[in-house]
Structure 1
Amino acid sequence: MSKRFEGKVVVVTGGSEGIGLATAKRFATEGAHVYITGRRQEALDTATKAIGHGAIGIQGDASSVADLDSLYDRVRADHGKVDVVFANAGTAEVNPRPLGEIDEEAFDRLFGLNVRGLLFSVQKALPLLSDGGAIVLNGSVAGSKGFPGQSLYNATKAAVRSFARSWTADLAPRGIRVNVVAPGGTETKMMRNFLDERPGVEDMLQQLVPLARLGEPDEVASAVLFLASDESRYIAGAELFVDGGSVAV
């Protein structure tokens, strides 16, 4: 087993399930000291046990600056540094919400976590982030598409893509690389529940994907680890689609 992250300190927000959990497991098996966040303590406890390797779960909401301060206070006390941040925590609309049905609550909820929360998840790490470190932002194919009824979610992921460009310029003097991983439809619990409640939607999605299937969380995790490792040391400000070709073709 490769140990690309031996002794590195890695923070994964939203790491109690799905892509975040799969990625945290991979970092841990490659030697990292892993910290994950999640809102629900029970799920967080289950996840840290599944990750193993001394992983630590910090209960908190990534959209709360106070909770992010508590996260990084713990990391500072334990290690005094961070080497990799995977800003993964995010949310989506379960039901389509056309422009005429968007309300303030929906706007604040999606932008509060996907944009504001992601920004401060990164900003609060900067005093601890090692020069030459890596930041990976979890985007989506939605940032490049115009999915109907999902304009709020689409816009939040377009903002994530823009952040990577700007922050690459901001952090270049410290040698810190910022990149985006952009999954397509991925076999997470949330996605499975969504599809099971809507017969026929999965078949439709697969027809839009050249590889004709949903992705697996571990496939996204592989891309995240690549972007966080020295194997991608000359890649910065990029967006890596893990979508079976749906955007490119």
Structure 2
Amino acid sequence: MSNEFNKKVVIVTGGTSGIGLATAKAFSEQGAYVFITGRRQDAIDAAVREIGGQVTGVRADMSRLEDIDRLYDAVQQKHSHIDTVFANAGGGEFAPLGAISEAHFNSAFDTNVKGVLFTVQKALPLMRDGGSVVLTSSTTSISGTPAFSVYSATKAAVRSFARNWILDLKERHIRVNAISPGLTETAGLNELFGNGEQAEGTKSYLAAQIPVGRIGQPAEIAQAVLFLASDRASFVNGVELFVDGGQAQI
């Protein structure tokens, strides 16, 4: 087992399921002190048990600035700095143009854009110079999806953050990169597709269009996040790394 992140302090927002959970677990397995966030205490408690190692769960809605402050207050109770922020919390629902409500728009942008912005900005006083930020974007940032325009727009904004923040943070040598997963086997994806047989049918249909012939697993996305956060990626800055089985390339 590698100890590449031994005693590094890592933040993973949205760390109770899916990609966030898998990534928090991977960081922990490599010796990191991991802080995860989630909205439900029962999910946080279950994730902490599954992740193991030196992990702290903080109940927080990352669209709320006071909750972000509570996260970093919890970090400061144990550590003097942060090495890596994985701003991963987010989500979306289908709504075609003509049926988009203000509530739908606000919910998506508050969590996926405002939440990411202030998660990173409020981390800066604690961020170690030379640290790393990884943002969760999506393949939808470059390709159209029916009834998914609001979510796609939020992920395009996240990708744009990485391009701009590398300039804002260059004096501190903090790298910022975006990870863009394709279809990934998560509870959130199943819920989005209607769960049960409907979800399985949709996933099978879409998997056939991916060059590798299947959808991704959260652990595969996690390994890409760890690479971007590691010293192995010391000259990688501002990129959008697609982890999608090749779908975005065709």
AA partner of residue 77 (structure 2): A
Partner of 1:247: 248
Partner of 1:205: 206
AA partner of residue 246 (structure 2): G
Distance 1:61 1:137 in 2: 17
Report if the CA contact (8 A) 2:32-2:54 is conserved: no
Distance 1:34 1:217 in 2: 17
Partner of 1:186: 184
| 1:189/1:199 CA distance change after superposition, 3 Å | closer
Distance 2:87 2:15 in 1: 10
Distance 2:175 2:62 in 1: 21
Task: Please tell me whether residue 120 in structure 1 is matched to residue 114 in structure 2.
Answer: no
Partner of 1:77: 77
Distance 2:75 2:202 in 1: 42
Partner of 1:139: 137
Distance 1:202 1:31 in 2: 35
Report if the CA contact (8 A) 2:190-2:199 is conserved: no
Q: List alignment gaps of at least 5 residues for structure 2.
A: none
What stretches of structure 1 move > 4 A for 4+ residues in a row? Answer: none
CA offset digits 1:44-80 (Å, max 9, x no partner): 0000111111200000101110000011011112101
Instruction: Report the CA distance between 1:202 and its aligned residue.
Output: 1.7
Partner of 1:42: 42
Distance 2:188 2:8 in 1: 30
Instruction: Report the CA distance between 1:200 and its aligned residue.
Output: 3.2
2:172 maps to which of 171, 174, 182: 174
Distance 1:78 1:224 in 2: 24
Partner of 2:24: 24
Distance 2:48 2:199 in 1: 32
Task: Please tell me whether residue 229 in structure 1 is matched to residue 227 in structure 2.
Answer: no
Distance 1:218 1:203 in 2: 20
Partner of 2:154: 156
Distance 2:98 2:244 in 1: 30
Distance 2:200 2:139 in 1: 22
Query: Secondary structure of the equivalent of 1:89?
Result: coil
Distance 1:28 1:200 in 2: 34
RMSD: 1.0
Report if the CA contact (8 A) 2:179-2:240 is conserved: yes
Q: List alignment gaps of at least 5 residues for structure 1.
A: none
CA offset digits 1:86-107 (Å, max 9, x no partner): 00000110xx311111110000
Partner of 1:33: 33
AA partner of residue 116 (structure 2): L
CA offset digits 1:88-138 (Å, max 9, x no partner): 000110xx3111111100000000000000100101100000000000001
Instruction: Report the CA distance between 1:201 and its aligned residue.
Output: 1.6
Report if the CA contact (8 A) 2:12-2:35 is conserved: yes
Instruction: Report the CA distance between 1:198 and its aligned residue.
Output: 4.3
CA offset digits 1:128-162 (Å, max 9, x no partner): 00000000001100111111110000100000100
Distance 2:32 2:96 in 1: 43
Distance 2:118 2:76 in 1: 17
Instruction: Report the CA distance between 1:203 and its aligned residue.
Output: 2.6
Task: Please tell me whether residue 218 in structure 1 is matched to residue 211 in structure 2.
Answer: no
Distance 2:63 2:127 in 1: 20
AA partner of residue 175 (structure 1): H
State TM-score, norm by structure 2. 0.97
AA partner of residue 157 (structure 2): A
- How many residues end up aligned between the 2 structures? 247
Instruction: Report the CA distance between 1:218 and its aligned residue.
Output: 0.1
Distance 1:68 1:223 in 2: 25
State TM-score, norm by structure 1. 0.97
Distance 1:57 1:225 in 2: 20
